[in-house]
Structure 1
């Protein structure tokens, strides 16, 4: 599945500092974009736990080659900041992550100007995407809430600039968290009932998360429990890193497969091109061509 990725030269600009008062550490982003083209849609990407703006090159580069501007912040949980599970700041990092994405979107004009893209990006077509914890973070900007200790939905973190999203291996509901997850990640209790923004959910059929007792179907909650319109791409042989989306030969990749990574990247690009009304052909080809390697459903 590669028709969503025309051959374009790309370039990256980093670091760009984004105003984020009270954060304690500068909010830095990397911007990757094609060297040519105008009216380029934007993807703001939230990394998984411990990563940074330098991770997920296989996704960011392929999206840029497909004609997107990709903005990647480094969240506080990046291993570069040395904030571990037992750090007193850790319980509130989930909120800082969300604030990071809001800051990027609120200052998107300045970020694009710093990257020399202010006249080439289409700020009317903006998506948020993320992997793992980043998918949970991105989901809140699509309308998902975080349940409090009493099971009541928390505040609305959706952002008006966001018109679509892509959640790669997102956490499911919190009713089946393992004891470790319940202790260290009590905020991993999403409620998808108000996640109304169009989104693609990408799930691996072998993604047996150590955070849940339910198995791989836990990853599909964001699709099944959210309102339409949503689409679900399932990759039966995919594990949590789906072939290595964070980078080549990284330690946590247990199912290294460059073709699987390309599938994930191309599927997100194809989905966004479709929902943004730019090109429906790549998504149609994906939906019709999976066979045993992947499947697509929608609602």
Structure 2
């Protein structure tokens, strides 16, 4: 079903503090990397709502085994920080999330040094951002997407020059289809993908039906259809919002538990980024050739 990564022993280091002036809670990250190898590319990963750098091991460990250094910040909305929907700080967390990723990228050398001297084995010229759900909108901002205001005008540009490519898993769609709950609590969930120019893989589930939008699963494909080329779309036919359990096996949010589906998503992103970051141009072609009819499909532009 998937292209298996090279088997490598991996190691994780946490927590590593990252300077983030003005943040009400210390920004901490986890770094996961293969024990061997040099010139390793980097993935900065943004988690979904309420998670932390301790989640998403099924994805992160597989990426590290495939040769990536993965850096995971814990965003302010993590359950461990106790900032819920009705907290007055919640409305601004989307900006803090983006600032977190900028802080990680701006301090990447020190982060890698704090993870056991990884800076000598990492190629900081090959950096990608990846996110799931709210994290996908966060990562998308660094790839060039913007947020529309109440009048439909695009907001500021949060792209980062260090980011060369990315992948968005279950990314928020566009349009005036937010449910009343989303309008009240998540008014920033109005992305503009027309400026998201960086090479990006969009991953969408064929059975992902969000309570935040009145549209169906196609809502999660807007990042592919509305952004300029080059873009690729991986559609996982039976995937729901957690794509089989990307945040972890048997967690409460997993409604479609399937470890093979998680491996598929992880391997697709690894193969795409190896190509987009010019590490291994054959990896994405090999993944494309392994497409399984009725299980997943690929589109590109």
Q: TM-score, normalised by structure 1?
A: 0.99
Residue 120 to residue 2, structure 1, CA distance change in 2 (3 Å): farther
After superposing the two structures, state which structure 1 stretch, 151-160 or 277-286, moved more.
277-286
Structure 1 residue 41 displacement after superposition: 0.2
Structure 1 residue 280 displacement after superposition: 2.9
2:296 is aligned, of 273, 282, 294, to: 294
Q: Which residue of 2 aligns with 1:82?
A: 82
Structure 1 runs of 4+ off > 3 angstroms? 1-4
Q: Which residue of 1 aligns with 2:9?
A: 9
- What does 1:5-84 correspond to in 2, within 5 Å? 5-84=5-84
2:176 aligned counterpart, secondary structure: helix
Structure 1 residue 283 displacement after superposition: 1.6
Q: Which residue of 2 aligns with 1:129?
A: 130
Does structure 2 conserve the Cα–Cα contact (< 8 Å) formed by 1:4 and 1:270? no
- What does 1:185-264 correspond to in 2, within 5 Å? 185-264=186-265
Give aligned pairs, total: 299
Unaligned runs of 5+ in 2: none
Residue 4 to residue 159, structure 1, CA distance change in 2 (3 Å): farther
Does structure 1 conserve the Cα–Cα contact (< 8 Å) formed by 2:85 and 2:185? yes
What is the aligned-residue RMSD (CA, Å)? Answer: 0.8
Does structure 1 conserve the Cα–Cα contact (< 8 Å) formed by 2:3 and 2:290? no
Structure 1 residue 4 displacement after superposition: 5.0
Residue 177 of structure 2 is aligned to residue 176 of structure 1? yes
Structure 1 residue 289 displacement after superposition: 2.2
Q: TM-score, normalised by structure 2?
A: 0.98
Q: Distance in 2 between matches of 1:15 and 1:59?
A: 19
Unaligned runs of 5+ in 1: none
Does structure 2 conserve the Cα–Cα contact (< 8 Å) formed by 1:174 and 1:188? no
Q: Which residue of 2 aligns with 1:153?
A: 154
Residue-by-residue CA offset, 1:243-270 (whole Å, 9 max, x unaligned): 0000010001000000000000000000
Residue 93 of structure 2 is aligned to residue 93 of structure 1? yes
Does structure 1 conserve the Cα–Cα contact (< 8 Å) formed by 2:206 and 2:236? yes
1:206 aligned counterpart, secondary structure: coil
Q: Distance in 2 between matches of 1:292 and 1:199?
A: 23
Q: Which residue of 2 aligns with 1:118?
A: 119
Structure 1 residue 3 displacement after superposition: 3.5
Q: Distance in 2 between matches of 1:237 and 1:5?
A: 23
Residue-by-residue CA offset, 1:84-119 (whole Å, 9 max, x unaligned): 000000000000000000000000010011112010
Structure 1 residue 285 displacement after superposition: 2.5
Structure 1 residue 276 displacement after superposition: 1.5
Does structure 2 conserve the Cα–Cα contact (< 8 Å) formed by 1:166 and 1:201? yes
Q: Distance in 1 between matches of 2:114 and 2:98?
A: 22
Structure 1 residue 183 displacement after superposition: 0.8
Residue-by-residue CA offset, 1:14-46 (whole Å, 9 max, x unaligned): 000000011011000000000000000000000
Does structure 1 conserve the Cα–Cα contact (< 8 Å) formed by 2:201 and 2:272? yes
